[in-house]
Amino acid sequence: MRADLEIIRDWIRPGSRVIDLGCGEGELLEHLVNEKQVQGYGIEINADNITACIEKGVNVIEKDIDEGLCGIRSNSFDTVVMSHALQTMHRPDQIVEEMLRIGKECIVTFPNFAHWRARFYLAFRGRMPVSKFLSYTWYNTPNIHFFTFKDFEELCVERNIYIVDRTVVDHEHKHRWWIRLWPNMLGEIAIYRITR
Amino acid sequence: MKDFPEDSVGLVVPQTIHFDQPLTLASGRTLPHYDLVVETYGQLNAQASNAILICHALSGHHHAAGYHTEEDKKPGWWDSAIGPGKAIDTNRFFVVSLNNLGGCHGSSGPNTLNPETGQPYGPDFPIVTVADWVQSQAGLADHLGIEQWAAVVGGSLGGMQALQWSIDFPERLRHCVIIAAAPKLSTQNIAFNEVARQAISKDPQFHQGHYYAQGSVPKTGLMLARMVGHITYLSEDGMREKFGRELRSGKLSFDFNPQFEIETYLQYQGERFSATFDANTYLLMTKALDYFDPAADYDNNLALALKQVQCDFFVASFTTDWRFSPERSREIVDALIEAGKKVTYTEIQAAHGHDAFLIPIPRYMEVFSAYMNRIADTLEKHDAR
């Protein structure tokens, strides 16, 4: 399992109600259902990912998250997960609000655009960064909103969102001691646990 | 002997099953005894755990797959989804398909003889509801020795029966497959049904439903009903794509005869339908649709109605279906999520409108097969233990 999913997994209580927005092939949910007996649902828009979820027996709902989550009742989930998808949303701020509406607690992961390699790329090459993790060119990337850890935390302050936990890792989703020294410069991926 | 396609169930023979147990209906009336016409495909396994019930839609019947004779030009109405290697794989499942009560293809209904009078029931056949059908289907399951269906499957009105099954007999099905359906009809849906009913009942040949004795058929009314219905089964884009504004003779004829291709098509559909379908049955089926509302007994709260269901759900809708639009399927899905039930939902891109549920659209068949295959895998693994 992807290392960030392992971190998320450890944050989720057994037997709780979980919804994974942009659940991909349903890897996290399959694990949570089998090992932690959670009541899990995934939202996904990609056809192949949906088929993969069905084959795994993961509850998957075909839906464009950009259209909102209006059919889902407020506070009806213990945990709402969105892993590596916030930067692909048209209005990340509104999605975060929706997540906080339907769930008691939200887990969000996203790539840090202020990582030194991205800064270096833009500063010296004068071009939009392309890396292993951000492996698209500017015109075809699904990542339409680039932001940094600092940006996200500022949004949290503005909107009165409480950050319960934050973990910053490198592109292999590994913890490194030095990342903690200067996370916004050295961290590539952040995993936030937020609530209101 | 003629060769049927390899993925066809081939020649099938319907059978009539007689039930002597009285059936108490939602209306309060009782059917003392009744017949159901049934077809089955595939083999029931030793544990009787691989049975699938197919519920038909408004104009459907028991002949869902295969051929009745070697001369048949067309197979059963859902042959695209039922057969060896198809979404509902008859190599793995035992498939049961019936004509519902009130139907006109052999099961007890307006056009069959009332044993009390020796005359056709006609308009005296009691109004049956989706819940009544489900009761009778449960009786059929008992008769076939099926304690629990691997899945109850249906599209449109058939999907409504599947949903009703999950609520009325929660322990008797493991999966519920609801395609292009809705948790209840919209006002607009009821309005269209009423136009269809008026077309039939105002036909001078209708004779208050006693047309059998008169040797007449309310053909015009039935045709009109079908034509209106057919418009609601197609999408605007699909219609435009298929017929456009094409003229049969290439030029305007300045009279009131059908000239546009769509006019000819609707007339042909109506004509064909009125030759094979019973007008009283059409009235009954539209009423069953109008009355369907499983949440009504639960404070109009669908999530509450679904609280006691035990099966897993597969729900699918089609983007251009405006009869039972994707929003209507999402109402079911949202209620299932709220009730904490297992559910998978897909929204298929299709230009065919409501009719799409009968068409083997590749993406539709892919997700449908994936879901059904998982059911088969699970039960074969379980039975091997």
pLDDT surpassing 60 at residue B7: yes
Q: Which residues of A touch B343 (CB under 8 A)?
A: 41, 59, 61
Residue A5 near chain B (CB below 8 Å): no
Please report the pLDDT score of residue A132 as a whole number. 60
Is B156 part of the annotated catalytic residue set? yes
pTM of the entire predicted model: 0.94
B15 bridge partner residues: B38
Q: Is the pLDDT of residue A117 over 90?
A: no
Q: Of B338, B346, B341, which Cα lies nearest the Cα of B313? A: B341
Q: What's the rounded Cα separation, in Å, for the pair B125 and B200?
A: 17
Closest CA to B173 of B163, B160, B183: B163
Instruction: Mark yes or no for CB contact A62/B340 under 8 Å.
Output: no
A134: pLDDT strictly greater than 70: no
Which of A60, A61, A70, A78 has the most B C-beta neighbours within 10 Å, making it the best mutation to test the interface with B? A61
**% of chain B surpassing 90 pLDDT:** 94
CB contact under 8 A, A73 and B338: yes
- Lowest mean pLDDT, pick from A45-54, A147-156, B198-207: A147-156
Looking at every residue in chain A, the average pLDDT score rounds to 88
pLDDT computed for residue B278 by the predictor: 97
Percent of chain B with pLDDT over 70: 99
Q: What is the ipTM of this complex?
A: 0.94
pLDDT of B198: 98
For A15-50, the pLDDT digits (tens) are: 999 999 999 999 999 999 999 999 999 999 999 999
Distance from CA of B307 to the nearest CA of A (A): 15
- Res A169 pLDDT > 90: no
pLDDT of amino acid A4 = 78
Res A130 pLDDT > 90: no
Give the chain A residue nearest B348 (alpha carbons). A62
| pLDDT > 70? residue B1 | no
Per-residue pLDDT for A124 more than 90?
no
Give the pLDDT band (50/70/90) at residue B180: very high
Mutate to test the interface with A, among B367, B371, B379 (most CBs of A within 10 A): B367
What is the spatial distance between Cα B132 and Cα B109, in angstroms, rounded to a whole number?
13
DSSP A105: E
- Please say if B255 is a catalytic residue: no
* Pick from A79-88, B274-283, B341-350: least confident: A79-88
DSSP B114-132: -TTTSSB-GGGSPP--HHH
Cα gap A8→A108, rounded to integer Å: 9
Q: Report the residue of A50, A64, A67, A80 to disrupt the B interface, i.e. the one with the largest count of B CBs within 10 Å.
A: A50
Distance separating the N- and C-terminal Cα atoms of chain A:
29
Is A59 at the interface with chain B, CB within 8 A?
yes
Mean confidence (pLDDT) of chain B: 96
Can you read off the two tokens belonging to residue B143? Answer: 């008769």
Residues of B in contact with A47 (CB under 8 A): 363
Reported confidence tier of residue B184, pLDDT bands at 50, 70, 90: very high
For residues B202-217, average pLDDT: 94
| Chain-centre distance for alpha carbon B293 | 17
Query: How many whole angstroms separate alpha carbon B360 and alpha carbon B349?
Result: 12
Give the closest of B338, B345, B374 to A57, CB-based.
B374
Whether the pLDDT of residue B296 is over 80: the answer is yes
Does B346 reach chain A within 8 Å, measured CB to CB?
A: yes
Given pLDDT bands bounded at 50, 70 and 90, which one contains residue A180? confident
- From B8, B107, B136, B156, the catalytic residue: B156
For B211-271, the DSSP string reads: HHHHT---HHHHHHHHHHHHHHHS-HHHHHHHHTT-BSSSS--SSSS--BHHHHHHHHHHH
pLDDT at B250 over 90: no
pLDDT of residue A131: 67
**Residue A148 contacts by C-beta under 8 Å, 6 or more apart in sequence?**
A112, A113, A114, A184
